[in-house]
Chain A
Amino acid sequence: HPWETVTTAAMQKYPNPMNPSVVGVDVLDRHVDRSGKLHSHRLLSTEWGIPSIVKSLIGTCRTKTYVQEHSVVDPVEKTMELKSSNISFTNLVSVDERLVYKPHPHEPDKTILTQEAIITVKGVSLSSYLEGLMANTISSNANKGREALEWVINRLNAEIEEFTASARGTMRNSMAAAAFVEK
């Protein structure tokens, strides 16, 4: 999909069926900087399906994990960069992720995603064996991320088609002559 489509979908990524644990998204700050780039700071709340007996012991506030995300969209250079890091009450594991979306250099209807993640357990970076384990999870999550955006893009397209169909219906009914562009 072209970069504009992917970027628009990424801004509306949640909710989607591939990330059912994301239960809340909020924008903490958003502004366009002097060079025309859009900065957004967002807070994501995730709920991991902890059994209710555990919830009743530790209280519902502590069952949510929060992720803070900083994204920068440059509409001139056509890049979107996302940095996210999880915040939780236990701080045992932290996951820092960085994603960059850019148009494909040779195929303008495609977008390239570069993704990296750093996992830290209790202040020590994971290495060797554990890295291998996490790498599988990360790459399957990366695929999930792509599927999630694909789902959002399809949903947005369906909304546009629905809107176009009802607009057509209205025009026909009112017998107005108008020109519109077919996709």
Chain B
Amino acid sequence: MNSVGEACTELKREYDQCFNRWFAEKFLKGESAGDPCGQLFKRYQLCVQKAIKEKDIPIEGLEFMGPSKGKGENSS
């Protein structure tokens, strides 16, 4: 899967690999202490933020938008 910034794709892949491993093997098993991916994430982040500015992507407030309604439940 590519990154929004073409130059960031490789950094993203490295970070993703690290994160997916940590998520499945540590985090879901209750060991969330420690962040082996911190460095990779920082490098990847710098690249992405630059790409977002360059492409002028309008990232708004990250809260859930729209009126709240009653929800329907579907079991799957």
Contact = CB atoms under 8 A, between A and B. Distances in A.
Interface of A: 4, 7-8, 11-12, 14-15, 22-28, 30, 32, 36, 38, 41, 43, 45, 61, 66, 68, 70, 73, 75-76, 83, 85, 87, 89, 94, 96, 98, 104, 111-116, 118, 120, 125, 142, 146
Interface of B: 1-5, 8, 12, 15-16, 19-20, 23-24, 27-30, 32, 41, 44-45, 48, 52, 55-60, 62, 64-67, 69, 71-76
Interface of B is mostly: loop
Contact of B28 (A7, A43, A98): A7
Given A28-B48, A45-B4, 14 more contacts: A8-B28, A11-B23, A12-B16, A27-B15, A27-B19, A27-B48, A30-B41, A38-B32, A43-B4, A68-B60, A94-B66, A118-B67, A120-B66, A142-B74
